[in-house]
Amino acid sequence: MTNGDWNKPGGTAVVTGGASGIGLAAAERMVARGMNVVIADRDEEMLDASLDELKQQSAEPSTVDGMLVDVSNLEDIERLRDLASEKFGTINCLMNNAGTGFPTGAPWENLDSWKQLLEVNLWGIIHGCQAFIPLMLDAGEPAIVVNTGSKQGITKPPGNYAYNLSKAGVVAYTECLAHALRQIPDCQISAHLLVPGFTYSGMIARHMPEKPDAAWTCEQTVDFMFESLDRGDFYILCPDNDVTREMDEKRIQWNADDIIKNRPALSRWHPGFEDDFAAFMKD
């Protein structure tokens, strides 16, 4: 269960990918709660603009800071840890939110692109946990780790195969992290997996100048995340304006049944199972 004391005024949160989208919306919420907030991003222009925005929103601008960081570089993450801990002390929230998405082609193509995407989406999260969690454990204070995953890491739709692989890795890693933390006597740190629905983030806005009706805003996703954290949820499975919780559950169940029923891989998109899947969703 989440200990609500993690987000008390005066606590400290570190958010990667915090200069835009879900990361910035989360940082804004934490600033409003009176927390010290450190955001990290690799886009210097956006980072500077977002820092100015957060400082204007804060009752005390000195409680907001940021750093230019490439999460695929462990040394960058360690410098971020040192900045946050030296300036604000105990870290009460680590939100590993930085991510990227770009076409990588078939599983046998573009090896360098595959590596680049995995370095950010998966290794960026591992780097964050490796750098911060020992410090958080030593502090012995209530704290949380939130790793941003994706529904594509669960149902793995055809298309961006490398992205699916990276986010499936985030699911597995965060599940292991939550279990490992539970094995520590009197541990006050919990891990959580954020699984956004269709969210109009900066990554989407580059391709769609206007928010589609189906998409949630980043603020809606963050509202849902905080409500889920207050309940102590591990899987923060967000709906959107087009996909309900029930629809997500059915899609996840079908995907799991591929193994149990020995169907072809990704049978949801297999022409031989098109009618069966439609009937399953209708029922």
Task: Report the percent of the chain where pLDDT is more than 90.
Answer: 93
Exposure string of 129-139, with b = 16+ CB inside 10 Å and e = fewer, is bebbbebbeeb
Q: How far is the C-alpha of 91 from the C-alpha of 14, rounded, in Å?
A: 7
Dihedral (Cα; 202, 230, 239, 164), 10-degree rounding = 60
Binned at pLDDT 50, 70 and 90, residue 6 comes out as: very high
One domain, residues 181 and 260: no
Query: What is the reported pLDDT for 206?
Result: 77
List the CATH number of the domain containing 219: 3.40.50.720
217 and 191 both lie in a single domain: yes
* Statement to judge: residues 109 and 228 lie in one domain: yes
Q: What is the pLDDT of residue 3?
A: 61
Q: Tell which residue, 108, 157, 169, 149, has the closest CA to residue 266.
A: 157
Confidence of residue 254 (pLDDT cuts 50, 70, 90): very high
Distance CA 152, CA 46 (A): 27
Return the structure tokens found at 121: 């989406």
Instruction: Select from 32, 42, 30 the least CA-distant residue to 91.
Output: 30
DSSP per-residue letters across 65-109? EEEE--TT-HHHHHHHHHHHHHHH-S--EEEE---------STTS
Instruction: Please write the tens of the pLDDT for every residue from 162-197.
Output: 999 999 999 999 999 999 999 999 999 999 999 999
CA distance 248 to 251: 5
Residue range 65-99, pLDDT digits in tens: 999 999 999 999 999 999 999 999 999 999 999 99
- Rounded to an integer, the average pLDDT of 55-64 is 96
90 with 140: CB under 8 angstroms? no
The whole-model pTM stands at: 0.96
Residues 19-58: pLDDT tens digits? 999 999 999 999 999 999 999 999 999 999 999 999 999 9
Instruction: Record the tokens describing residue 47, joined without a space.
Output: 């980072």
Q: What is the DSSP string of 185-240?
A: TT--EEEEEEE--SB--HHHHTT-SS--TTPBPHHHHHHHHHHHHHHT-SEEE---
Question: Sign of the CA dihedral 37, 177, 159, 250?
Answer: negative
pLDDT score of 176: 98
The share of the chain scoring above pLDDT 70, in percent, equals 99
Give yes or no: residues 50 and 190 share one domain.
Answer: yes
pLDDT surpasses 60 at 63: yes
User: How far is CA 132 from each of CA 70, 74, 103, 139, 252, rounded to the nearest angstrom?
Assistant: 16, 11, 31, 11, 32
Residue 205 has pLDDT above 80, yes or no: no
CA distance 44 to 52: 12
Residues 176 and 257 in one domain: no
Structure confidence at residue 203 (pLDDT): 74
Q: What domain range is 44 assigned to?
A: 4-242
150 lies in the same domain as 122: yes
Pick from 46, 29, 135, 131: nearest CA to 88: 135
Cα 48 vs. chain centroid, distance in angstroms? 22
Q: How many domains is the chain partitioned into structurally?
A: 2
The average confidence (pLDDT) of the chain is: 96
Res. 202: pLDDT tops 80: no
Same structural domain for residues 171 and 236? Answer: yes
Residues 6+ apart with CB under 8 A from 86: none
30 and 154 assigned to the same domain = yes
Residue by residue, what is the 3-state secondary structure of 111-167?
HHHHHHHHHHHCHHHHHHHHHHHHHHHHHCCCEEEEEECCCHHHHCCCCCHHHHHHH
pLDDT per position as a tens digit, 97-116: 999 999 899 999 999 999 99
Could you tell me if 135 and 68 lie in one domain? yes
Both 225 and 261 in a single domain?
A: no
Active site residues: 163
User: Is 221 found in the same domain as 155?
Assistant: yes
Considering the domain architecture, whether residues 102 and 201 belong to the same structural domain is answered as: yes
